[in-house]
Amino acid sequence: MTDIDDLLAETTADDLLETMLSAAEALGLPARSWRIGGALRVTYKVCASVFSGQNTIARELAMASFLPLSSGGWLTLLARHMYGVERITATFATGEVTLTNTGANFYTFDADEIKFKNPDTGKVYSYSGTSETMNPGESKIFSVRAVEQGSESSTSAGTVTNFETTYLGLVVNNTDPILGGDAETDDELRARCLAKLGTLSLLGPSSAYSYAVTSATRPDGSAVDINRHSVKNDSLTGIVTVTVASPSGTPDPLDVGYVEDSIDLWARQDIVSVTVQAASTVTAARTVTIWARASVGVSATVIQEAADAALTAAIISYPIGGLSKPPTVGSYLYEDFIKSAMMGSHAAIYEIDGLGPDIALLSNEIGEITPTYIVRMV
């Protein structure tokens, strides 16, 4: 019987050729004396190459059967057919821009008719609302969606300032970040498959709630805009509190409702009381000074945009309720965590001041920093 370790071992064509030559010699054939390039040697080499390809297929099929080893498309199939879990696809970055008509022209725009652009990244965002009229002197908020899926279309506040087509008198800007998400990674999908097993328990363990939150969808089948959650189980009262947050902070109430529906489907038990709540945002204004080397040859604007993008990425992934550092009492959004992310955003940055102090957070809170930047090129 073939051992599973042997089946999973990676075998090259050279390895197989060596095995075949040794087997031939064991049968009394002078295999290693055969001329390189001769018919017998070439025949063995061709067979080794073919067998190596078959070995690779057998190895991938074997790995595809095990959750820790499966990957890519094989993992997608394993998750679907063995665990009943579908891989979450990438989302389009969504948000809002403010459009102002400073000219004398009248404009009417239908959905997807007007497209906005980040001039630095070249990413394009399309109007996603209904028909809208812009009169001279008016300023209106337009909902937008990125043309391309994934987090690469995410952009910081104040970066969507151009149009794909010129409109006389129109000015655009985004006061808040526009955020999208990448497709679920293999590690994230494996974690959800394992969490799905928790839904089989009558006691509704934390993993069951985690699975329900991360698998929640809207009526159109798209994933809810929730990227963080916490589960608190009060053993004295029997109440489970699930707190959720989105990349932009406090989530849409509709998405919170869809999470509750998912928990009802997958995790809620008759003997357990479950409360689903949106995280509250604790906002702190900071004047942040970025010190950068002028010798690198980049502008202060490039430095600021890189640092701000790093700050945004760090904030939107920071856990609900913050982190704690014993023996310190309480949980916080730590200055050094954010600073480390920003320091690594560009090679020219050598110091950052003004992010502190740490922001204290309760178990249902998330932190947010609204920065005013000063960039010192030295």
How would DSSP label each residue in 192-246?
Answer: HHHHHHGGG-TT--HHHHHHHHHT-B-TTSPBPS--EEEEEEETTTTEEEEEEEB
> Which residue carries 């630095």 as its tokens?
120
Per the domain annotation, does 77 fall within a domain?
A: no
Domain count for the chain, please give it. 4
Asked whether residue 262 falls in the same domain as residue 306, the answer is no
The arrangement of strands across the sheet holding 365-377 comes to 349-353, 280-292, 365-377
Per the domain annotation, does 181 fall within a domain?
A: no
Q: Provide the domain limits for residue 33.
A: 4-64
pTM of the model: 0.64
In the chain, what are the helix, strand and coil shares in percent, each to the nearest 5? 35, 30, 40
Asked whether residue 267 falls in the same domain as residue 288, the answer is no
Cα separation, 243 vs 251, whole angstroms: 10
Q: How many CA atoms lie within 13 A of 160 on its CB side?
A: 34
Per the domain annotation, does 74 fall within a domain?
A: no
* Closest alpha carbon to 378 in 309, 306, 303: 303
Confidence tier at 271 by pLDDT (50, 70, 90): low
Asked whether residue 350 falls in the same domain as residue 298, the answer is yes
Report, in angstroms and rounded to the nearest whole number, the Rg of the chain calculated over CA atoms: 28
Asked whether residue 343 falls in the same domain as residue 289, the answer is yes
The beta strand positions in 105-169, using DSSP E, are: 107-109, 115-117, 124-127, 132-134, 139-149, 162-163
Say if residues 93 and 178 touch (Cβ distance below 8 Å). yes
Say if residues 97 and 172 touch (Cβ distance below 8 Å). yes
Per the domain annotation, does 46 fall within a domain?
A: yes
Please say which residue of 278, 305, 329 terminates a domain. Answer: 278
How far out from the chain centre does Cα 81 lie? 24
Q: pLDDT per residue over 129-152, tens digit each? A: 899 999 999 999 999 999 999 888
Asked whether residue 122 falls in the same domain as residue 190, the answer is no
Per the domain annotation, does 134 fall within a domain?
A: yes
Q: pLDDT per residue over 14-44, tens digit each? A: 888 888 889 988 998 888 888 888 898 899 8
Q: pLDDT per residue over 193-212, tens digit each? A: 988 887 766 545 678 899 99
Q: What is the pLDDT of residue 204?
A: 54
Per the domain annotation, does 86 fall within a domain?
A: no
Asked whether residue 56 falls in the same domain as residue 115, the answer is no
User: Please, what is the average pLDDT of the chain?
Assistant: 90
Per the domain annotation, does 38 fall within a domain?
A: yes
Per the domain annotation, does 311 fall within a domain?
A: yes
